[in-house]
């Protein structure tokens, strides 16, 4: 088996897939979101569509639709997410509160529509095709004038950084890139293996696979060099003792302040870090 085949096999295994339902202890069975749209994939058999949802500010917020901020947020979610109603509802709350449009989509292997194998090439191709469609063709080119922000969470930082650095996406006019809890090197993940217990050991290996599939470090270094050449600024926020799964929630204030070019971003970031540190101390942490 070639190195290329091994990589595709590992990618397909890591993006193991799930349908559009979910379950939680508090709510029990959670159904699929009721308004999933489909975009036919290019160069694959008919019926193997990209599933996605486009979320706008809800009408009950006074003036939200009339005064919508012209920002299009394209999200590449974590490996355990799909388009169940609870997950989508959380992003809908963000769209309404922040007065923006948010696009979510399923990777290959996910959702309720047949799909090709989840290879790195296919995952990136889907993201590019869908963002291009929404940007220039959805609703009569409505979003052509919007500022595009791409946001990756966990392993979703892989396709997000690919979009940020590939020449194939240059015409999309991406203005901001947000990476939440990216796995960017194997070294970072080794501590997850230094523990006893088979369940944690297997979980650790899954994280290792997520870390090596996407060459994020080189992609991030490349983007920093581009920023320097274009006289752009980069921002890195390190939140101490913040769990991987909770980072999106705990840093929401920073994320949206960055997206909205809030002039008080430094103060907001400092406040979030301080709150996180106070929470750690109050919980008995070192």
Whether residue 122 is found in the same domain as residue 248: no
| Mean pLDDT value of segment 32-49 | 93
193 and 120 inside one domain: yes
pTM of the prediction? Answer: 0.82
The radius of gyration computed from the CA coordinates of the chain, to the nearest angstrom, equals: 19
Alpha helices in 15-109, H assignment, sequence order: 85-98
**Highest-confidence segment of 11-25, 62-76, 134-148:** 134-148
Domain carrying residue 101: 3-234
Assess whether 278 and 158 both reside in one domain.
no
Q: How far apart are CA 133 and CA 137, in angstroms?
A: 5
The pLDDT confidence band at residue 102, using thresholds 50, 70 and 90, is very high
CATH code for the domain in which residue 114 is found = 3.40.50
Same domain for 178 and 143?
Answer: yes
Asked whether residue 104 falls in the same domain as residue 146, the answer is: yes
For the cut 80, the answer to whether the pLDDT of residue 150 exceeds it is yes
Q: Can you tell me the mean pLDDT for 220-249?
A: 60
Give the orientation angle of helix 3-14 with respect to helix 198-213, to 10 degrees: 120
Last residue of a domain, one of 217, 234, 251: 234
Banded model confidence at residue 224, pLDDT cuts 50, 70, 90: low
Mean pLDDT score, 97-104:
97
HSE-up of residue 22 (Cα within 13 Å, Cβ side): 19
Residue in this structure with the two tokens 């993201």, named with its chain if needed:
127
Domain boundary at 234, 253, 269, which? 234
Structure tokens at 139: 């609703």
Same domain for 203 and 244?
no
| Best mean pLDDT range from 130-134, 136-140, 190-194, 196-200 | 130-134
Give me the number of domains the chain comprises.
2
Interstrand relation of 147-153 and 174-180 (parallel, antiparallel or unpaired): parallel
Q: What is the pLDDT of residue 260?
A: 94
Largest CA distance in the chain: 59
Q: How far apart are the C-alpha atoms of 104 and 236, rounded to whole Å?
A: 24
Rounded average pLDDT over 225-251: 62
Please give the pLDDT value at position 126. 97
- Look at residue 231 in the predicted model and tell me its pLDDT: 52
How far apart CA 157 and CA 197 sit, in angstroms, is 29
Least confident of 145-149, 166-170, 185-189, 218-222: 185-189
For residue 238, pLDDT over 90 is answered with no
Domain boundary among 212, 234, 256: 234
């Amino acid at each position: 088996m070639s190195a290329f085949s091994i990589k595709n096999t590992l990618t397909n295994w890591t993006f193991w897939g799930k349908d559009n339902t979910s379950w939680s202890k508090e709510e029990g069975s959670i159904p699929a979101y009721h308004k999933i749209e489909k975009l036919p994939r290019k160069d694959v058999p008919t019926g193997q569509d990209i599933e996605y949802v486009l979320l706008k500010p809800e009408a009950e917020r006074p003036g939200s639709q009339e005064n919508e901020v012209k920002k299009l947020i394209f999200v590449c979610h974590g490996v355990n997410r799909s388009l169940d109603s609870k997950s989508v509802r959380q992003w809908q709350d963000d769209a309404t509160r922040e007065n923006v449009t948010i696009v979510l989509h399923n990777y290959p292997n996910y959702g309720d529509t047949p799909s090709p194998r989840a290879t790195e090439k296919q995952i990136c191709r889907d993201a590019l095709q869908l963002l291009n469609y929404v940007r220039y063709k959805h609703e009569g080119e409505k979003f052509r004038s919007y500022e595009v922000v791409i946001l990756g969470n966990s392993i979703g930082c892989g396709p997000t950084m690919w979009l940020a650095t590939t020449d194939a996406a240059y015409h999309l006019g991406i203005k901001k890139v947000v990476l939440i809890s990216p796995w960017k090197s194997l070294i970072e993940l080794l501590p997850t293996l230094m523990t006893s217990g088979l369940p944690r050991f297997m979980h650790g290996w899954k994280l290792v696979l997520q870390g090596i599939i996407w060459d994020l470090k080189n992609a991030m270094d490349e983007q920093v060099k581009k920023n320097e050449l274009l006289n752009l600024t980069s921002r890195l926020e390190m939140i101490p003792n913040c769990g991987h799964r909770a980072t999106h929630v705990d840093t929401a204030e920073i994320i949206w302040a960055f997206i909205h070019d809030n002039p008080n971003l430094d103060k907001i970031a400092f406040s979030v870090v301080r709150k996180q540190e106070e929470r750690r101390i109050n919980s008995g942490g070192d």
